[in-house]
Structure 1
């Protein structure tokens, strides 16, 4: 609420003059603040930037963050360190950045967990629309349904037949409850009318290692960490959940091709800063990130690691967040998963 300005303090000036003078003073103060913000942006960065990954090392988000950090540091002319703060499905790391100083020195590279968790948990330590300043939508990758080759299952049809013939016998690993791989597995169970037991792990690599070690028979994971094991034959890819087949996995069908309409469940990666980070810093980070992602050699590197580069700026990321929060909330409800 603005403070009332008594006219008696200014006996020789009209009320309009008093209000105009007050308005000019407020405007001057705002301009001064913008100059300070601009000055901070002009010298940015003058100390190391920290990118927080809210998941375990070697997972898809960690891979994306480290590739981006390496090249973004050179573009910005500074140092960038990557820090893993995993736990609670990503909520610990996301919440940490949400409440960090909004000065551009603590950033977040996160996955779709950012838009999934508000529907999965009764309470999350952040608001996806107000607690962050979107910087860039980095890339996306499909999830992949995997089987241990020793299981003798080579197609989704064979998986469904085995699950129906032997109810409750099969299980599948995921990077954690509420991740898009987990939700893809639950979507498959609903669509195919089967029951396989979900076994959550603390990240993509722990889930894949569990499958490799015979702890589980199946897994659903984002493509990047699974890709080398598919190529080597250590794991069998039954299907991908993207909109199209992956460029070097031409023999692996999509779930849509197999007759499961609207079965598209991708994991996207995004760069965000705490809300109220100076707009000039956000704009610079966005421009430099997009420039890095558009380099042919970086696009090829990310593609080889299982990412399709998107390289959208703040507005594109903001739109994606607005669409995906209610989308995943609906899928979670249809799967019968109660917020915890």
Structure 2
């Protein structure tokens, strides 16, 4: 009798131990999320920006990074890794340790580069875990006021009457402002010569100095010159008019269906980063972006706050990689 009880107790203990082990395995299959998130961050978080300082992506990263570090009870530092149209910084992050301490804030280059380059150091679908879709800035089509062109219709008329006259500046080959210019040429049936520069600042200076008559640029660096009257904005390429440029129409309003060409800012982590850390970063980032004071600060810097979570960022990637691949092909730009 005692032997039977002893055997029964042994089996119960074995079953209990097995149950505990099964629970541990289940937690492991979920990425050990609670355990891995506990105590995070224990050291500074590095946010890689794949472009030079002072551009739109750098501005977004520094504003968000400062507040994100505070919200997490730690520190977030921005590291600029420019080069190869953003590929160097994006590739560096893709192959970093997926521990939540190396993250990426990038622009639309992330979705444009797969169509622009024959080989890139990352897979846009597989190498990253989306954290959040942060914000976007429309591009803007600019002219020198002395040109006497006051609308897109005027620009088309001028370009068709003088096919070899107009040059347009952009921040560089493959940037969304460059592709906005190429899309403009396609849908309007006009010719303009593209003059690429090494960034938004030099491109704006080119039209201010009269080196080019037209420019396509992201709104943030162009905005003060539009307000001062030094540059004339003919249209923005976002889904709606910019809040403090109410007289500047969208290309859609002008009859060019689906002409949306904005520059977004996205937040991503290497793909195997623990789910709990990704969720924590996403929730904190969205809280920060929705804070009225910070949203206003970003708006004043030319950003429309989106504040979508991982699903929103993932959908944008899925939608825009093929979209820009098609635009690059239609523009006759051969992958390099």
**Is 1:187 paired with 2:183?**
yes
Aligned to 1:276: 272
Aligned to 1:301: 297
**Is 1:141 paired with 2:137?**
yes
Q: How many angstroms apart in 1 are the aligned matches of 2:258 and 2:165?
A: 28
Gaps of at least 5 residues in structure 1 are 1-20
Superposed, which structure 2 residues align to 1:26-65 within 5 Å? 28=24, 31=27, 38-65=34-61
Gaps of at least 5 residues in structure 2 are 1-16
**Is 1:210 paired with 2:206?**
yes
**Is 1:88 paired with 2:62?**
no
SS in 2 for 1:206: helix
Q: Is the 8 A contact 2:85 2:113 kept in 1?
A: yes
Superposed, which structure 2 residues align to 1:101-140 within 5 Å? 101-140=97-136
Root-mean-square deviation over aligned CA pairs: 2.2
Q: Is the 8 A contact 2:31 2:274 kept in 1?
A: no
Aligned to 1:313: 309
SS in 1 for 2:258: coil
Range moving further from structure 2, 220-229 or 28-37: 28-37
Aligned to 1:261: 257
Aligned to 2:69: 73
4+ residue stretches of structure 1 with deviation over 4 A?
21-37
Q: Is the 8 A contact 1:58 1:225 kept in 2?
A: no
SS in 1 for 2:257: coil
- So what's the TM-score if we normalise by structure 2? 0.89
Aligned to 1:239: 235
Q: How many angstroms apart in 2 are the aligned matches of 1:73 and 1:36?
A: 23
SS in 2 for 1:329: helix
Aligned-residue offset at 1:122: 1.0
Aligned to 1:337: 333
Q: Is the 8 A contact 2:31 2:275 kept in 1?
A: no
Q: How many angstroms apart in 2 are the aligned matches of 1:29 and 1:259?
A: 58
Aligned to 2:160: 164
Aligned to 2:9: none
SS in 2 for 1:219: strand
Aligned-residue offset at 1:240: 0.4
Q: Is the 8 A contact 2:32 2:274 kept in 1?
A: no
Size of the aligned set, in residue pairs, is 320
Aligned-residue offset at 1:134: 0.3
Q: How many angstroms apart in 2 are the aligned matches of 1:167 and 1:248?
A: 34
- Structure 1 residues 206 and 53, CA, compared in 2 at 3 Å: closer, same or farther? farther
Q: Is the 8 A contact 2:170 2:216 kept in 1?
A: yes
- Structure 1 residues 33 and 327, CA, compared in 2 at 3 Å: closer, same or farther? closer
